[in-house]
Structure 1
Amino acid sequence: MLLSRQSIATPFVICVCILGVGLIQFPQLQKLINSQKSASLEILEKEIKSEKLRLNFLQKIPSFGYDNFIADLVYLNFSQYFGDDEVRDKTGYSLSPEYFEVILERDPRFLAAYRSLSVSTSLYAGMPERAIALAEKGLKSLSPSVPEKSYYVWRSKGIDELLFLGNAKAAQQSFATAANWASNFSDPESQMIANNSQKTAEFLSRNPNSKYAQISTWAMVLNYQVDERTQKRAIRAIEALGGKVITTPEGTHKIVFPPKD
């Protein structure tokens, strides 16, 4: 009986410790955010090193069935980190992939995390290789129907491959797979994704340097629910490729392609 109680108590104590780590960090993070406004770069860099150590710890500790809880907690931490524009302007976004190492290791089916991975790690941290590697690892745990709309992961991977690595062949395969996965569903959103992804793959098969494909891919970034900075970056890229972005009264974006690819 004593052995049984001990076997139950041990994981319970560890889980309480995990919960404690999560709960105590919220007031600490808020205090840290407030103090960072006037902190020197040297202090900020020390705090980044400390945060990286904490993320490494969270990546290695046993979860005893609380993987999703840890993933959600770290994603909240990431949102605070990524959203602090003033401090990120000083330190950059180098910790972005470290957050997703924990998040996607704990919950590879966390669909929203893949979109944030692409924007934060490829676009802002300038590490598309890390983003693609994490996506490829996570895709091993996904299928066309689990989780729902998992075809978006292939789309994000294709975006990174085309726009940030210039690997048109890999991007073509990713968009073709996204189209294949999305075609399994009859809802309007999935059918639209299947059609757009297939067109992008076809553009790339005919012309690996296709401006149409690149504009279409930046349009995908633009139409994600991203921050204003990301939208402006996408619009600048589309215009540099000869396209034009028109914002409709409803707040959506219409893309006008150049006369020639």
Structure 2
Amino acid sequence: MSVRGKVDEIAVRALRSLLPPRCLLCGAPGEGDRDLCAGCAGDMARNQPCCARCAEPLAVAALMCGACLKHEPPFAAAWAPLRYAHPLDLIEARFKFHGDLAAGRVLTDLLCAAFDEASPLRPDCLIPIPLHATRLRERGYNQALELARPLAARLGIPLRIDLLERTRATPAQTGLDAAARKRNLRGAFAVPVGADLPRHVAVFDDVMTTGATLREAARVMQRAGVARVDVWALARAPQRR
């Protein structure tokens, strides 16, 4: 660890001794160093059972969901350890739309802990879904990047933000159905010309809703010559039928 890292760690410990962690959801004492109590952590819905191919939440265990059996997705496998439901959605909204760093730390802890439990196939690098420059200026940060950064560090694999570009500013996906989301994202991503691509990558987003964003990114990576593309997310939203 660098001198700067040691100083930061000491500062964090000193701050924690003065201001012990409190649960962001109920205000109870946090568990360990996390701003989340054991009870609220237990309320986070695990994404099991789910489709082994696209991580779609299922009511009963099955190898693949009907949609994947009908149309093979453009990625090899998906990993999304939690279901996007209450109370995870409250913490995610605080982080994504309000810049709450404490909420971001909680999500990072949940993500890294889930990987330690599940250990999906480790890729050569992790690629966060990029924001268009316009959206990045509005929000000030890319939530997918901020969650992917500590996970890549935990895994000891490169975090690559130079292999996928957002080439078109698309309207927000919120409120669009699956077909509209797919149309909205056509031509939204590109791999830079001359990029040195690994054989196996995982593309990461914070939440996988219909999967349109990650599917389009996976298609682009495949067309550019990546041998295997997986998609990862913190959480998967159940589909509305």
Same topology, TM > 0.5? no
Q: Which has the higher strand share?
A: 2
User: Which one has more relative contact order, counting CA pairs under 8 Å at least 6 apart?
Assistant: 2
Q: Which has the higher helix share?
A: 1
What TM-score results when the alignment is normalised by the length of structure 2? Answer: 0.30
What TM-score results when the alignment is normalised by the length of structure 1? Answer: 0.28
